Chain A
Amino acid sequence: MTGRRASQRITIDIENEPDLRKGPEGDIVQVVDYDGKYQCYYEPVDLNRPALLMDGGLEPDEAKPQFHQQMVYAVTMKVIESARRALGRPITFHRPSARQPRLRLFPHAFIGANAFFDSKLNAILFGYFRASQSQPGPNLPGQCIFTCLSHDIIAHEVTHAIVHRLRQYFLEPTNADVLAFHEAFADLVALFQRFSYRSLIIDELHESGGRVELSTWLVSLAQQFGLATGTGKALRSAINQVDPRAMETEFEPHDRGAILVSAIFGGFLRVVEHRTNELFRIASGGSGIKPPGRLPTDLVARLASEVADVADRVLRMCFRAFDYLPPVDVTFGDYLRALVTADFELSPDDRDELRFSMIEEFRLRGIYPEGVVSLAEKSLVLPSADYLPKLPREFEQHTFHLLALTASALDWSARLRIRQKQRLKARPSGRSALPGFEDALRQYEELVLEPEQPEREQSEIARGLNKYAKQNAGALGLDPEYRILVAGFHPVFRIGRDQRLVVELVAQFVQTKDAPIRGGRGTRPLRGGVTVVFGADNVPRYAVGKSFLEKKLRYRQGAQDEWLETLGLNDPRMPWSSPQYRDEFFAKMTDLRRLHGG
């Protein structure tokens, strides 16, 4: 399928969903083109029409809502695909409580230079607006700009939705890093997703003489969007000057998030440089000095492969780290540890020094995890959770069942085979003993525990895990006096660098109580929790969390109150606020619309 991006045009290849319906509406996402401002629908596109299939989708056409629908669908699926590959499990947005089996995309939801994920609607709402009359940049003055046509904005918003799916409490501003992390991660995915478009990298590397860091286009996000708003710059640039004090002075979520983005991008650039220098030396007979003029096409093609390869590895690394993050109150330091641990599990040898480069870039920016003695890789890898007992024997059947389901839900070739058969024959009715792909996915959705599914608490798996958590409450940093919510449980399948298969089961436990709002009325939720990673043999390997036990919890509560106060001081609205505004402040801060500009 084809999409238009600022000045270039690229083709986005995504896996074919044979059963894609009008909308487009697939298995996990659905495009609903309802315009909240004009209160109408726009005619939905049918991408499975043979004529369109032959053409590889609609041609770029800004004036056609159908092209917009195709664009959001394609980019969204591309990002979800990346996430699925890296996480090693199906990504679904099934929400029985909202009666929403799919993530919905509204390409023309409202007028405004904004786009955001709304968890209540289980949807991403894209705005459209007219370019600045006075400072339109390269756009026409007053030209209509569609946020749903910006690859980076779509990727950014979809990532927010995925993050919310993986960690629902990461929207609660319990420390300076939480919202910044949400933003940074969404930017990282948008950024590294770019590097999966080979033709784009080749063009840009030609222009910049083979240096990624010299291509402003590759390193700046949402060019068209940024230029259209009159600020004259792209939204955020990944390469910031390294300011070792930034962590103490930057608190606005986007600015603070930019520190994390630049750290990871810095690590990426180090590895790219290392690998491309080799090629430059080969191409120059050992001198490494580039000949004048344009680089040979073959060299650029090779460079592009290296860059794409490293980018892909970084993107996977970023996603994988999620399974090693605490369920609440995340910090950049936690993320560094998770990155290192996740990557260590898959490629212990760190051949390209990717981990080393990342650690170095984090160190330069003053991002330190709490409670580690040094920034050596050994002390950053999470400690082994050998103090925890195995999951009980009677739980094994659940694990095996889930593992089997996940495997078949991930089995793409089986899926296509079944679809082909279905096309020849009539649809088989009833559920067979061995699930086909669609059944596997649905059954997986029903069994696996994802956040925001209160109705799942009574499932056998949830009860089993709950019992385990209660029995080991102290060791897990949980308080048996309070309810333990099983906020997630899923298996993951990953292939290590040495082609080993790594299978793990990840459980999240969360506890909540009400804490008084300091300097205000009413209460806010105070949470603790732990993520436990089990091996396929049900033996716990890692446990990472934020304690819910007395002393540590009190300490965190104090720190949170202090941070919330700072957050209020940074809010221009605060001096003019009503008591009601101040009471609802915590809840207001969890709104992505507000985070993206109101």
Chain B
Amino acid sequence: MEMPRPAKAARRCARVRMYNVGFGDCFLLMLPTDDGEKRVLIDCGSLKAGEVALPKIVKQVIADLSPRDKAPALDLLIATHRHRDHISGFSDAGWQRVSVGEVWMPWTENPADAEARTLTNAQTTYIRAVDKAIGARPALLASSPILKDMLLNAQPNSAALATLHSGFKNRPKRRYLPGAKGIDVITDVLPGVTIHVLGPSRDKAVRRWMEPTNESDAYLAALEGETAGDKGDEVTFEFGINWAIRDDYIDKIKAGTFPKSLRLNRRDVLQLRHHAEQRDWELLAAKADQALNNTSLILMFEVGSAYLLFPGDAQWGPWQRLLNDPDTRELLSRTTFYKVSHHGSSNATPKRLVEAIKAVRKAPKRISMVSVAPYKWAEIPRRPLLDALQEISADVIRSDKPSTQAEIATKKDGYWVEVEIPVG
């Protein structure tokens, strides 16, 4: 005999609310725990606004954290990585009124960790050098909006970082994850909820993906050399100044002594000048972008029968390590909710992940959520990826478009879209 379905309120559900921040991430999780519903905020930032400007969204988030006019409070705050599009919202003064249980950041943010300092210093120095070099070439920036955005995104967010490291109303405990042992399983914050910290790895092979320069390339020095000091290029030139012969002088003055066979023809000269000027600036900027993305916290929330995967903006490198490990791969395959990594970009959700999830047959309805503000032609978000996710999910919910599936329990507001995930 079929029992009458219990009232909706009694059904245990986790709720995930995605704010429409434009190009960025801001997720509020309301998780059923043994100690009642707990709230977790994952990231709050935007690079370019969607329909609503970021300050308004921050206000809304803080209001949502203050039910029945109580003081705003949050059980757990997570900043996945230091990119502007993930943390810029924390520069808002409003956060000083919010009490927070704990703040989690990737281990790379730990001020007491020497290894982390070396890494972030290298990243910052690199970004500064690229920024300076590109800043000196205004025409470049004008010609490539994407270049501009990538650079802006990597800009140090000191106000936001200050909030994360030392702000908020109380003095929340800061945790830098994972700890020295590798993968952490955390159970003490949200009673009854298990959180698997899958990244960022401290493994050398994965850390390479967080370094904008590695042993085999040497941009940093090159860029520094080009812009170092404000004396400009003259210093580099000094060595040869007494020996330099301008091309047009050869005919006049040096005719006869300068060997003919050494003179370059016009085409070669142009080619050489081109080589001297040309550099793939977008590649340089993209390397910085990827390096920061790969420091993302990768978290799997295990709530009852639900598995909520929040990988920040992790790109290709960190995923490989996870998917090569059979146990981790098995854990990943259980995903029932997926926050699409890096706004749906081409190399942030590996095929192998999708395939691993797909291989699990008897699975509850899966939901994917992706926070996007599409560029005209770039691979963010990548269409074929969204299609593939559609195949394994009951729905792929975009921050910029209403859901297409009526049966998915979504609530909407001008600021956010929310989904309920049954936790069994």
A sample of 19 more A-B contacts (CB under 8 A), given A40-B244, A254-B215, is A21-B259, A30-B261, A30-B262, A32-B262, A34-B272, A36-B273, A36-B275, A38-B237, A109-B272, A111-B225, A130-B236, A145-B225, A230-B125, A233-B215, A572-B283, A572-B315, A575-B315, A575-B345, A576-B380
Contacts of A1-58 to chain B: CB distance below 8 A: 21-23, 25, 30, 32, 34-44
Give the contact-size bracket for chain A: 35 or more
Q: How far is the CA of A87 from the CA of B377 in the complex (A)?
A: 50
**A contact residues around B356 at 8 Å (CB):** none
Q: How far is the CA of A44 from the CA of B257 in the complex (A)?
A: 10
Given A130-B228, A576-B282, A579-B377 in contact, is the A121-B272 Cβ separation under 8 Å? yes
Contact status B244-A41, CB under 8 Å: yes
**B contact residues around A252 at 8 Å (CB):** 216
Contact status A235-B215, CB under 8 Å: yes
Contact status A65-B240, CB under 8 Å: yes
Contact status B290-A41, CB under 8 Å: no
Encode contact with A along B264-289: 1 for CB under 8 Å, 0 otherwise.
Answer: 10001101111111011011101101
Contacts of B224-280 to chain A: CB distance below 8 A: 224-226, 228-229, 233, 235-240, 243-247, 250, 258-259, 261-262, 264, 268-269, 271-277, 279-280
- Chain B interface, DSSP helix/strand/loop, else mixed: helix
Q: How far is the CA of A22 from the CA of B347 in the complex (A)?
A: 52
Whether A249 is near chain B, meaning CB under 8 Å from some CB there, is yes
**A contact residues around B380 at 8 Å (CB):** 575-576
Q: Which 7 A-B pairs have the closest CB atoms?
A: A36-B276, A597-B217, A130-B225, A575-B345, A129-B225, A36-B272, A254-B216
The chain A residues found within 8 Å of chain B, CB to CB, are 21-23, 25, 30, 32, 34-44, 62-66, 106, 108-114, 118, 120-121, 125, 127-134, 142, 144-145, 225-226, 228-231, 233, 235-236, 249, 252, 254-255, 519, 568-579, 593-594, 596-598
Q: Give, as a whole number of angstroms, the nearest-CB distance from B238 to chain A.
A: 8
Q: Give, as a whole number of angstroms, the nearest-CB distance from B287 to chain A.
A: 5
In the complex formed, the residue of B with least CB distance to A246 is B205
Encode contact with A along B121-164: 1 for CB under 8 Å, 0 otherwise.
Answer: 01001000000000000000000001000100000000000000
**B contact residues around A128 at 8 Å (CB):** 236
**A contact residues around B218 at 8 Å (CB):** 113-114, 225, 228-229, 231, 597
Contact status A249-B320, CB under 8 Å: yes
Q: Give, as a whole number of angstroms, the nearest-CB distance from B321 to chain A.
A: 9
Contact status A574-B346, CB under 8 Å: yes
**B contact residues around A575 at 8 Å (CB):** 286, 315, 342, 345-348, 378-380, 382
In the complex formed, the residue of B with least CB distance to A570 is B316
**A contact residues around B187 at 8 Å (CB):** none
Contact status B225-A22, CB under 8 Å: no
Contact status A118-B289, CB under 8 Å: no
**B contact residues around A225 at 8 Å (CB):** 218
**A contact residues around B221 at 8 Å (CB):** 113, 129-132, 145, 228-230
**A contact residues around B350 at 8 Å (CB):** 569
In the complex formed, the residue of B with least CB distance to A245 is B324
Given A41-B258, A111-B222, A129-B221 in contact, is the A65-B243 Cβ separation under 8 Å? yes
Q: How far is the CA of A62 from the CA of B408 in the complex (A)?
A: 71
Contact status B239-A597, CB under 8 Å: no
In the complex formed, the residue of A with least CB distance to B376 is A578
Q: How far is the CA of A229 from the CA of B214 in the complex (A)?
A: 10
Given A114-B222, A129-B222, A235-B215 in contact, is the A41-B280 Cβ separation under 8 Å? no
Q: How far is the CA of A114 from the CA of B217 in the complex (A)?
A: 8
Q: Give, as a whole number of angstroms, the nearest-CB distance from B200 to chain A.
A: 16
**B contact residues around A130 at 8 Å (CB):** 221, 224-226, 228, 235-236
Encode contact with A along B46-61: 1 for CB under 8 Å, 0 otherwise.
Answer: 0000000000000000
Contact status A133-B228, CB under 8 Å: yes
Contact status B240-A42, CB under 8 Å: yes
Contact status A25-B261, CB under 8 Å: yes
Q: How far is the CA of A579 from the CA of B382 in the complex (A)?
A: 12
Contact status B215-A226, CB under 8 Å: yes
Q: How far is the CA of A110 from the CA of B262 in the complex (A)?
A: 18
In the complex formed, the residue of B with least CB distance to A235 is B215
Q: How far is the CA of A230 from the CA of B220 in the complex (A)?
A: 8
Whether B219 is near chain A, meaning CB under 8 Å from some CB there, is yes
What are some 30 contacts across the A-B interface (CB < 8 A)? A25-B261, A43-B243, A64-B243, A65-B243, A111-B276, A113-B225, A121-B272, A132-B221, A133-B228, A142-B228, A145-B221, A229-B220, A229-B221, A230-B220, A233-B215, A249-B324, A254-B215, A569-B346, A570-B347, A572-B287, A572-B289, A573-B286, A576-B286, A576-B379, A576-B380, A593-B275, A594-B280, A594-B283, A598-B283, A598-B284
Q: How far is the CA of A569 from the CA of B379 in the complex (A)?
A: 11
Q: Give, as a whole number of angstroms, the nearest-CB distance from B125 to chain A.
A: 6
In the complex formed, the residue of A with least CB distance to B320 is A249
**B contact residues around A568 at 8 Å (CB):** 346-347
In the complex formed, the residue of B with least CB distance to A146 is B239
**B contact residues around A22 at 8 Å (CB):** 259, 262
For B379, give its contact among A131, A231, A574 (CB under 8 Å). Answer: A574
Contact status B214-A231, CB under 8 Å: yes
In the complex formed, the residue of A with least CB distance to B384 is A519
Q: Give, as a whole number of angstroms, the nearest-CB distance from B409 to chain A.
A: 32
Whether B99 is near chain A, meaning CB under 8 Å from some CB there, is no
Q: How far is the CA of A120 from the CA of B284 in the complex (A)?
A: 24
Whether B213 is near chain A, meaning CB under 8 Å from some CB there, is yes
Contact status B348-A23, CB under 8 Å: no
In the complex formed, the residue of A with least CB distance to B121 is A134
**A contact residues around B225 at 8 Å (CB):** 111-113, 129-131, 142, 145
Q: How far is the CA of A49 from the CA of B377 in the complex (A)?
A: 61
For A111, give its contact among B233, B244, B258 (CB under 8 Å). Answer: B233
**A contact residues around B261 at 8 Å (CB):** 21, 23, 25, 30
**B contact residues around A145 at 8 Å (CB):** 221, 225
In the complex formed, the residue of A with least CB distance to B344 is A575
Q: How far is the CA of A576 from the CA of B146 in the complex (A)?
A: 7
Given A129-B226, A229-B218 in contact, is the A144-B236 Cβ separation under 8 Å? yes
Q: How far is the CA of A233 from the CA of B264 in the complex (A)?
A: 38
Q: How far is the CA of A134 from the CA of B217 in the complex (A)?
A: 17
**B contact residues around A34 at 8 Å (CB):** 264, 269, 272
Encode contact with A along B297-331: 1 for CB under 8 Å, 0 otherwise.
Answer: 00000000000000000011000100010000000
Q: How far is the CA of A37 from the CA of B274 in the complex (A)?
A: 9
Contact status B275-A597, CB under 8 Å: no
**A contact residues around B273 at 8 Å (CB):** 36, 39
Q: Give, as a whole number of angstroms, the nearest-CB distance from B355 to chain A.
A: 14
**A contact residues around B384 at 8 Å (CB):** 519
Q: How far is the CA of A594 from the CA of B218 in the complex (A)?
A: 12
Q: Give, as a whole number of angstroms, the nearest-CB distance from B225 to chain A.
A: 3
Q: How far is the CA of A475 from the CA of B16 in the complex (A)?
A: 64
Q: How far is the CA of A235 from the CA of B258 in the complex (A)?
A: 38
**A contact residues around B247 at 8 Å (CB):** 39-41
Contact status B342-A231, CB under 8 Å: no
For B215, give its contact among A32, A231, A578, A579 (CB under 8 Å). Answer: A231
Q: Give, as a whole number of angstroms, the nearest-CB distance from A309 to chain B.
A: 31
Q: Give, as a whole number of angstroms, the nearest-CB distance from B275 to chain A.
A: 6
